[in-house]
Protein backbone atom coordinates (compact mmCIF):
# COMPACT_ATOMS: atom_id res chain seq x y z
CA UNK A 1 0.00 0.00 0.00
CA UNK A 2 1.31 3.40 -0.94
CA UNK A 3 -1.10 5.57 1.03
CA UNK A 4 -2.22 4.36 4.43
CA UNK A 5 -5.07 5.65 6.54
CA UNK A 6 -6.11 4.19 9.86
CA UNK A 7 -9.66 3.96 11.16
CA UNK A 8 -10.75 3.02 14.71
CA UNK A 9 -14.55 2.76 14.61
CA UNK A 10 -16.40 2.12 17.90
CA UNK A 11 -19.59 0.07 17.78
CA UNK A 12 -22.16 -0.30 20.57
CA UNK A 13 -22.09 -4.08 20.86
CA UNK A 14 -19.70 -5.88 23.21
CA UNK A 15 -21.59 -9.06 24.05
CA UNK A 16 -23.24 -10.73 21.06
CA UNK A 17 -20.36 -12.51 19.32
CA UNK A 18 -22.42 -13.35 16.27
CA UNK A 19 -23.27 -9.70 15.62
CA UNK A 20 -19.69 -8.65 16.36
CA UNK A 21 -18.36 -11.15 13.86
CA UNK A 22 -20.74 -9.85 11.18
CA UNK A 23 -19.49 -6.30 11.71
CA UNK A 24 -15.81 -7.27 11.80
CA UNK A 25 -16.32 -9.39 8.69
CA UNK A 26 -16.65 -6.17 6.67
CA UNK A 27 -12.92 -5.56 7.23
CA UNK A 28 -11.69 -9.03 6.34
CA UNK A 29 -10.39 -10.31 3.00
CA UNK A 30 -10.62 -6.90 1.37
CA UNK A 31 -7.87 -5.81 -0.98
CA UNK A 32 -5.73 -3.02 0.52
CA UNK A 33 -7.56 -3.22 3.83
CA UNK A 34 -5.86 -4.79 6.84
CA UNK A 35 -7.72 -5.57 10.05
CA UNK A 36 -5.13 -4.99 12.81
CA UNK A 37 -7.13 -5.68 15.89
CA UNK A 38 -10.58 -5.71 17.43
CA UNK A 39 -11.53 -5.88 21.07
CA UNK A 40 -14.88 -6.04 22.76
CA UNK A 41 -15.77 -5.21 26.33
CA UNK A 42 -18.88 -6.64 27.94
CA UNK A 43 -19.07 -4.06 30.73
CA UNK A 44 -18.75 -1.23 28.25
CA UNK A 45 -20.88 -3.24 25.80
CA UNK A 46 -18.68 -1.84 23.06
CA UNK A 47 -16.51 -3.04 20.18
CA UNK A 48 -13.38 -1.17 19.05
CA UNK A 49 -11.93 -2.09 15.66
CA UNK A 50 -8.52 -0.99 14.40
CA UNK A 51 -8.04 -1.18 10.67
CA UNK A 52 -5.56 0.20 8.12
CA UNK A 53 -5.99 0.63 4.41
CA UNK A 54 -5.68 2.59 1.22
CA UNK A 55 -8.11 5.50 1.71
CA UNK A 56 -10.63 4.50 -0.97
CA UNK A 57 -10.84 0.84 -0.05
CA UNK A 58 -10.85 1.65 3.66
CA UNK A 59 -13.71 4.08 3.12
CA UNK A 60 -15.82 1.46 1.39
CA UNK A 61 -15.20 -1.10 4.12
CA UNK A 62 -16.11 1.41 6.84
CA UNK A 63 -19.32 2.42 5.07
CA UNK A 64 -20.26 -1.23 4.77
CA UNK A 65 -19.54 -1.88 8.47
CA UNK A 66 -21.61 1.12 9.52
CA UNK A 67 -24.51 -0.28 7.52
CA UNK A 68 -24.13 -3.66 9.15
CA UNK A 69 -24.12 -2.12 12.65
CA UNK A 70 -27.19 0.02 11.90
CA UNK A 71 -28.94 -3.14 10.75
CA UNK A 72 -27.98 -5.27 13.77
CA UNK A 73 -27.88 -2.96 16.78
CA UNK A 74 -30.92 -1.47 18.51
CA UNK A 75 -29.83 1.28 20.89
CA UNK A 76 -33.17 1.13 22.72
CA UNK A 77 -31.93 -2.18 24.16
CA UNK A 78 -28.34 -1.05 24.79
CA UNK A 79 -26.91 -0.91 28.33
CA UNK A 80 -23.26 -0.31 29.09
CA UNK A 81 -20.84 1.72 31.20
CA UNK A 82 -19.27 3.63 28.33
CA UNK A 83 -21.06 6.78 27.13
CA UNK A 84 -22.55 6.26 23.65
CA UNK A 85 -25.01 7.95 21.34
CA UNK A 86 -25.34 5.50 18.50
CA UNK A 87 -25.03 1.98 17.13
CA UNK A 88 -21.87 3.29 15.53
CA UNK A 89 -20.69 5.71 18.17
CA UNK A 90 -17.60 7.29 16.70
CA UNK A 91 -15.50 6.84 13.53
CA UNK A 92 -12.07 8.53 13.65
CA UNK A 93 -9.75 8.54 10.63
CA UNK A 94 -6.03 8.84 11.30
CA UNK A 95 -3.37 9.58 8.65
CA UNK A 96 -0.47 7.11 8.77
CA UNK A 97 1.61 7.15 5.59
CA UNK A 98 1.72 9.39 2.52
CA UNK A 99 -1.51 11.05 3.60
CA UNK A 100 -2.02 14.30 5.45
CA UNK A 101 -4.44 15.26 8.16
CA UNK A 102 -6.27 17.24 5.46
CA UNK A 103 -6.69 13.97 3.55
CA UNK A 104 -8.12 12.40 6.70
CA UNK A 105 -10.56 15.29 7.10
CA UNK A 106 -11.67 14.95 3.47
CA UNK A 107 -12.11 11.20 3.81
CA UNK A 108 -14.10 11.58 7.04
CA UNK A 109 -16.48 13.98 5.28
CA UNK A 110 -17.00 11.57 2.39
CA UNK A 111 -17.84 8.79 4.82
CA UNK A 112 -20.09 11.11 6.85
CA UNK A 113 -22.06 12.07 3.77
CA UNK A 114 -22.29 8.51 2.45
CA UNK A 115 -23.58 6.94 5.69
CA UNK A 116 -26.03 9.81 6.22
CA UNK A 117 -27.54 9.32 2.77
CA UNK A 118 -27.38 5.56 2.63
CA UNK A 119 -28.66 4.74 6.13
CA UNK A 120 -30.61 7.90 6.95
CA UNK A 121 -28.25 8.55 9.88
CA UNK A 122 -27.60 11.94 11.52
CA UNK A 123 -23.83 12.54 11.45
CA UNK A 124 -21.73 15.00 13.45
CA UNK A 125 -18.25 15.93 12.25
CA UNK A 126 -15.76 16.20 15.16
CA UNK A 127 -12.12 16.94 16.03
CA UNK A 128 -10.17 18.16 12.99
CA UNK A 129 -13.28 17.73 10.81
CA UNK A 130 -15.53 19.78 13.09
CA UNK A 131 -17.70 22.50 11.47
CA UNK A 132 -17.65 24.66 14.63
CA UNK A 133 -15.47 24.93 17.74
CA UNK A 134 -18.12 23.56 20.10
CA UNK A 135 -18.16 20.38 18.00
CA UNK A 136 -14.45 19.59 18.19
CA UNK A 137 -14.71 17.69 21.45
CA UNK A 138 -16.50 14.36 21.12
CA UNK A 139 -17.71 14.46 24.74
CA UNK A 140 -19.59 17.70 24.00
CA UNK A 141 -21.38 16.16 21.04
CA UNK A 142 -22.19 12.95 22.86
CA UNK A 143 -23.45 14.60 26.05
CA UNK A 144 -26.98 13.31 26.78
CA UNK A 145 -26.15 10.10 24.96
CA UNK A 146 -28.60 8.11 22.83
CA UNK A 147 -31.49 8.83 25.15
CA UNK A 148 -30.96 12.60 25.23
CA UNK A 149 -30.19 12.89 21.53
CA UNK A 150 -33.90 12.66 20.64
CA UNK A 151 -34.39 16.24 21.86
CA UNK A 152 -30.84 17.64 21.62
CA UNK A 153 -30.59 17.07 17.89
CA UNK A 154 -33.56 19.33 17.22
CA UNK A 155 -31.70 22.39 18.53
CA UNK A 156 -30.08 24.61 15.94
CA UNK A 157 -26.62 24.39 17.57
CA UNK A 158 -26.77 20.57 17.39
CA UNK A 159 -28.13 20.23 13.87
CA UNK A 160 -26.19 17.33 12.32
CA UNK A 161 -23.61 18.10 9.62
CA UNK A 162 -25.16 15.43 7.41
CA UNK A 163 -28.43 13.51 7.46
CA UNK A 164 -31.76 14.28 9.09
CA UNK A 165 -32.08 16.49 12.20
CA UNK A 166 -33.75 13.59 13.87
CA UNK A 167 -32.36 10.73 15.92
CA UNK A 168 -32.34 7.42 14.05
CA UNK A 169 -34.95 5.35 15.86
CA UNK A 170 -32.62 2.41 16.54
CA UNK A 171 -29.12 3.62 15.57
CA UNK A 172 -29.10 7.07 17.19
CA UNK A 173 -26.39 9.31 15.78
CA UNK A 174 -22.72 9.00 14.86
CA UNK A 175 -19.63 11.21 15.10
CA UNK A 176 -17.14 11.01 12.22
CA UNK A 177 -13.86 12.90 12.11
CA UNK A 178 -10.12 13.02 11.71
CA UNK A 179 -7.39 13.06 14.32
CA UNK A 180 -3.67 12.42 14.40
CA UNK A 181 -2.18 9.18 15.75
CA UNK A 182 -1.44 9.47 19.45
CA UNK A 183 2.05 8.62 20.67
CA UNK A 184 2.24 7.61 24.33
CA UNK A 185 5.71 8.66 25.43
CA UNK A 186 7.12 8.48 28.95
CA UNK A 187 10.43 9.83 30.21
CA UNK A 188 11.91 8.30 33.37
CA UNK A 189 13.63 10.57 35.87
CA UNK A 190 16.41 9.72 38.25
CA UNK A 191 14.47 10.91 41.27
CA UNK A 192 11.81 9.45 43.52
CA UNK A 193 10.40 12.93 44.18
CA UNK A 194 6.97 13.01 42.56
CA UNK A 195 6.70 16.77 42.97
CA UNK A 196 9.62 17.26 40.62
CA UNK A 197 8.06 15.00 37.98
CA UNK A 198 4.78 16.87 38.32
CA UNK A 199 6.46 20.25 38.08
CA UNK A 200 8.29 19.21 34.90
CA UNK A 201 5.10 17.77 33.37
CA UNK A 202 3.28 21.03 34.00
CA UNK A 203 5.87 23.02 32.11
CA UNK A 204 6.15 20.71 29.15
CA UNK A 205 2.46 20.22 28.51
CA UNK A 206 0.22 22.49 26.44
CA UNK A 207 -2.04 23.76 29.19
CA UNK A 208 0.97 24.90 31.22
CA UNK A 209 2.38 26.93 28.33
CA UNK A 210 4.41 24.08 26.90
CA UNK A 211 4.24 22.21 23.63
CA UNK A 212 1.04 22.54 21.67
CA UNK A 213 0.31 18.84 21.04
CA UNK A 214 1.47 17.52 24.40
CA UNK A 215 -0.57 16.34 27.36
CA UNK A 216 1.35 15.19 30.40
CA UNK A 217 1.49 14.36 34.07
CA UNK A 218 3.95 13.26 36.73
CA UNK A 219 3.72 9.63 37.81
CA UNK A 220 5.53 7.61 40.52
CA UNK A 221 6.98 4.24 39.51
CA UNK A 222 6.96 2.97 43.06
CA UNK A 223 8.52 -0.44 42.45
CA UNK A 224 11.57 1.17 40.90
CA UNK A 225 11.62 4.09 43.31
CA UNK A 226 11.66 6.60 40.45
CA UNK A 227 9.25 8.98 38.78
CA UNK A 228 8.15 9.60 35.23
CA UNK A 229 6.83 12.36 33.03
CA UNK A 230 4.04 10.53 31.23
CA UNK A 231 2.98 12.22 28.00
CA UNK A 232 0.52 11.86 25.15
CA UNK A 233 1.71 13.48 21.96
CA UNK A 234 -1.44 14.19 19.99
CA UNK A 235 0.29 15.28 16.77
CA UNK A 236 3.81 13.92 16.44
CA UNK A 237 4.31 15.72 13.11
CA UNK A 238 4.12 19.04 14.93
CA UNK A 239 5.19 18.16 18.47
CA UNK A 240 8.01 15.69 17.73
CA UNK A 241 9.11 13.02 20.20
CA UNK A 242 12.64 14.43 20.38
CA UNK A 243 11.34 17.93 21.16
CA UNK A 244 9.26 16.69 24.09
CA UNK A 245 12.24 14.63 25.24
CA UNK A 246 14.71 17.50 25.12
CA UNK A 247 12.27 19.86 26.81
CA UNK A 248 11.90 17.41 29.71
CA UNK A 249 15.70 17.29 29.88
CA UNK A 250 15.96 21.08 29.99
CA UNK A 251 13.43 21.34 32.80
CA UNK A 252 14.99 18.42 34.70
CA UNK A 253 18.37 20.16 34.57
CA UNK A 254 17.28 22.84 36.98
CA UNK A 255 16.60 20.17 39.59
CA UNK A 256 19.86 18.39 38.84
CA UNK A 257 17.75 15.37 37.89
CA UNK A 258 18.97 13.13 35.05
CA UNK A 259 16.84 11.37 32.46
CA UNK A 260 17.47 7.67 33.05
CA UNK A 261 15.27 6.11 30.38
CA UNK A 262 12.17 6.46 28.30
CA UNK A 263 9.45 4.34 26.81
CA UNK A 264 6.99 4.32 23.97
CA UNK A 265 3.76 2.60 24.98
CA UNK A 266 1.91 0.76 22.25
CA UNK A 267 2.21 1.54 18.56
CA UNK A 268 4.15 4.39 17.00
CA UNK A 269 4.22 5.49 13.36
CA UNK A 270 7.50 4.82 11.56
CA UNK A 271 7.76 8.49 10.66
CA UNK A 272 7.93 9.52 14.32
CA UNK A 273 10.95 7.29 14.90
CA UNK A 274 12.68 8.22 11.67
CA UNK A 275 12.21 11.86 12.58
CA UNK A 276 13.88 11.20 15.93
CA UNK A 277 16.87 9.42 14.38
CA UNK A 278 17.15 12.13 11.73
CA UNK A 279 17.20 14.85 14.37
CA UNK A 280 19.92 13.36 16.52
CA UNK A 281 22.13 12.39 13.57
CA UNK A 282 21.36 15.58 11.65
CA UNK A 283 20.33 13.62 8.55
CA UNK A 284 19.99 15.62 5.35
CA UNK A 285 17.41 14.69 2.72
CA UNK A 286 16.36 11.45 4.30
CA UNK A 287 13.14 9.97 2.94
CA UNK A 288 10.88 7.38 4.52
CA UNK A 289 11.10 5.44 1.27
CA UNK A 290 14.73 4.68 2.10
CA UNK A 291 13.58 2.39 4.88
CA UNK A 292 13.95 -1.02 3.32
CA UNK A 293 10.82 -2.47 4.87
CA UNK A 294 8.60 0.18 3.29
CA UNK A 295 9.28 -1.51 -0.06
CA UNK A 296 7.17 -4.38 1.19
CA UNK A 297 4.17 -2.14 1.66
CA UNK A 298 4.03 -0.72 -1.83
Catalytic residues: 82
Could you tell me how many residues make up the chain?
A: 298
Cβ nearer to its own copies, comparing 56 with 145: 56
CB of 46 to its own copies, least distance (A): 22
Cβ nearer to its own copies, comparing 157 with 284: 284
- How far is the C-alpha of 130 from the C-alpha of 153, rounded, in Å? 16
Within 13 Å of residue 200, how many CA atoms lie on the same side as its CB?
33
- How far is the C-alpha of 111 from the C-alpha of 173, rounded, in Å? 14
CB of 295 to its own copies, least distance (A): 5
Residue 250 to residues 150, 203, 236, 278, Cα–Cα distance (Å): 51, 10, 20, 20
CB of 4 to its own copies, least distance (A): 7
Cβ nearer to its own copies, comparing 250 with 283: 283
- How far is the C-alpha of 161 from the C-alpha of 246, rounded, in Å? 41
Cβ nearer to its own copies, comparing 73 with 183: 183
Cβ nearer to its own copies, comparing 150 with 184: 184
Within 13 Å of residue 254, how many CA atoms lie on the same side as its CB?
9
- How far is the C-alpha of 121 from the C-alpha of 245, rounded, in Å? 44
Pairing relationship of beta strands 123-127 and 88-97 according to DSSP bridges? unpaired
Residues that bind its own copies (CB under 8 A): 1, 4, 6, 34, 36, 52, 96-97, 181, 188, 241-242, 245, 259-264, 266-270, 273-274, 276-277, 280-286, 290-297
- How far is the C-alpha of 58 from the C-alpha of 53, rounded, in Å? 5
CB of 69 to its own copies, least distance (A): 24
| Terminal-to-terminal C-alpha distance of the chain | 4
CB of 255 to its own copies, least distance (A): 18
Amino acid sequence: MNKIMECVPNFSEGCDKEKIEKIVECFRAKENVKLLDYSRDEDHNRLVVTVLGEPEELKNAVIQAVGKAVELIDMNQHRGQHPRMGAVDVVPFIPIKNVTSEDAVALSKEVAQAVAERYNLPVFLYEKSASAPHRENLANIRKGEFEGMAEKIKKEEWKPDFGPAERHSTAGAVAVGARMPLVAYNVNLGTGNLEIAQAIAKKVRFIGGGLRFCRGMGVALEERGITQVSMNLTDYTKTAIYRAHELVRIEANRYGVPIIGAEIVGLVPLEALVDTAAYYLGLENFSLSQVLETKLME
